[in-house]
Amino acid sequence: MSIPLQAYAAYLPSWRIAGISRGNRVVAAFDEDSTTMAAQAAGALLRGVGTRAVVPTLHFATTSPAYLDKTNATAIHAALGLDRGTFAADVIGSARSGVAAIRAAAAQGGLAVLADVRTGRPGSADEKLGGDGAAAFLFGTGPGIAELEARTSLSAEFLDRWRRPQSDTGEQWEERFGFEEYADLVREAVAAVLDDAGLDGADHVVLTSPNSAVNKRVGSLVKGGLSTTGSPIGHAGAADVGLALAAVLDIAGPGETILVVSAADGCDAFLLRTTELLAERRQASPVAAQLASSREVDHLTYLSWRGLVELELPRRPEPDRPAGPPAGRATGWKFGFNGSRCTSCEMAHLPPQRVCRGCGAQDEMSVVPGTRLVGKVATYTVDRLAFSPSPPVLVVVVDFDGGGRASLELADADPNALGVGDRVELTFRRFFTAGNVHNYFWKARPLLAAVSERSK
């Protein structure tokens, strides 16, 4: 009845807050936002799909947009190096926006990318029970990894969770009020979608909701034959339903049914049936593996990352905002990490140059897309003087496999564990915000063990 799911990928940031009750609160680094995490998840997806990818649309869902009045999906689109003809748009506002993006991609073909940074007041339930992350799904014609067999959507207006656009932290009514509303909606939607599919139940059930009481009682509302799960990291806003689905796709067998239920301002239910192709097209780095690969950040530093406390910074000037025209001229480099390669002598140049540093030829360069490059650290240092929203700045000179060198900041790394020869990949980051402009560019980051293994 609709376009099959072709591929999926999730992205969890490396950092966990130390010393708050859950201990495994997944948090985006200071240089990550919904846009960068979306680019990471979608980038991992497209890397897995390779040249087969057909992406006519990109719908980006978040409750924490980096910009308003400017489409954030175009930055993701640029970071993915997608064709100009791809329709890229934001679906902004609530957990339900994630469902809207998936519905749009499933209907039209293309990418649904869901990402969120969930911020709670210090000490709040949202701080403890939320999670930051991203998930991406590609729908397209041809044999896929899962078919969408049925879906139901119910809408309802009541005050359970809300936030004014001017605020980074939200509010919730007494959770038991929302739970009663949602319990009825979930039962009705599940009955309808199973009826539509002609089934009595599903093999796997995932149920996510911004309402914490719903999350505590997933099993009492609906049960799967093989598994029943909620959000893998805590409520992740618009990304929550996507992360939960991705975690189930990591483990589901062929020909199994997955009932996806999102209880957010109503209730949306999807019934998916996996195919034989799922096993060979699972994401390279499963949600569970990403959860396990983590680094701790202390609470105070975390609060500074979210702007909830202001720490003393090195006595250095804050950077200027990136300017529109030069950034516009350099979009291929800034967002796509496109270098150039001399067609005469093959020397690679990062950033792209007109005159070859090897043979001197002018304007004999071909563009080389760079975001998937991996390389090794030629030398490194730790800069304790440089301005950074979270000092110190780790600096690496990276020699890329296949040619090219660049000096880059290193993200998500331990300043005391750097070494010449370390393997790194690229990661799209927000360096800083100046003059209300976010400065996006690529950093290096230690190559995840799973990917490192694969690249051998």
| Interface with other proteins (CB under 8 A) | 314-317, 319-323, 325-327, 329-330, 333-334, 347-351, 353, 357-358, 378-388, 393, 395, 397, 399, 403-409, 420, 431, 439-441
Q: Please state the closest distance from residue 320 (CB atom) to other proteins, in A.
A: 7
Closer CB to other proteins, 121 or 405, in the complex: 405
Written as one string, the DSSP assignment of 74-92 is HHHHHHHT--TTSEEEEEE
* Strand (E) or helix (H) holding 430: strand 423-434
Strand partners, 215: none
- CA distance linking residue 244 with residue 255, whole number of Å: 19
Q: Please state the closest distance from residue 37 (CB atom) to other proteins, in A.
A: 20
Strand partners, 377: 398
Q: Please state the closest distance from residue 47 (CB atom) to other proteins, in A.
A: 22
Please count the CA atoms within 13 angstroms of the CA of 247 that sit on its side-chain side.
27
Closer CB to other proteins, 308 or 330, in the complex: 330
Q: Please state the closest distance from residue 364 (CB atom) to other proteins, in A.
A: 16
Q: Please state the closest distance from residue 445 (CB atom) to other proteins, in A.
A: 16
Q: Please state the closest distance from residue 296 (CB atom) to other proteins, in A.
A: 23
Cβ atoms within 10 A of the Cβ of 177, count? 15
Q: Please state the closest distance from residue 61 (CB atom) to other proteins, in A.
A: 27
Closer CB to other proteins, 154 or 374, in the complex: 374
Closer CB to other proteins, 204 or 349, in the complex: 349
Q: To the nearest 10°, the Cα dihedral for 221, 225, 231, 237?
A: -70
- Helical ranges in 198-298 per DSSP H: 212-216, 218-221, 240-249, 278-281, 287-292
Q: Please state the closest distance from residue 408 (CB atom) to other proteins, in A.
A: 7
- CA distance linking residue 450 with residue 289, whole number of Å: 9
Q: Please state the closest distance from residue 86 (CB atom) to other proteins, in A.
A: 23
- CA distance linking residue 305 with residue 22, whole number of Å: 19
Cβ atoms within 10 A of the Cβ of 178, count? 22
Q: Please state the closest distance from residue 276 (CB atom) to other proteins, in A.
A: 44
> What is the side-by-side strand order in the sheet with 110-116?
87-92, 57-62, 110-116, 133-139, 5-11, 146-155, 266-274, 257-262, 204-208, 227-229
β-pairing verdict for 374-383 and 423-434: antiparallel
- CA distance linking residue 222 with residue 204, whole number of Å: 10
Residue positions counted in the chain: 456
343-351: long-range contacts at Cβ-Cβ below 8 A with a sequence spacing of 24 or more?
346/403, 347/403, 348/400, 348/402, 348/403, 348/404, 349/404, 350/400, 350/404, 350/405, 350/406, 351/406
Q: Please state the closest distance from residue 381 (CB atom) to other proteins, in A.
A: 4
Straight-line distance from the first to the last Cα atom of the chain, in angstroms, rounded to the nearest whole number: 41
Closest CA to 116 of 198, 212, 210, 183: 210
Closer CB to other proteins, 135 or 408, in the complex: 408
Closer CB to other proteins, 17 or 418, in the complex: 418
As a whole number of Å, the CA-based R_g of the chain is: 22
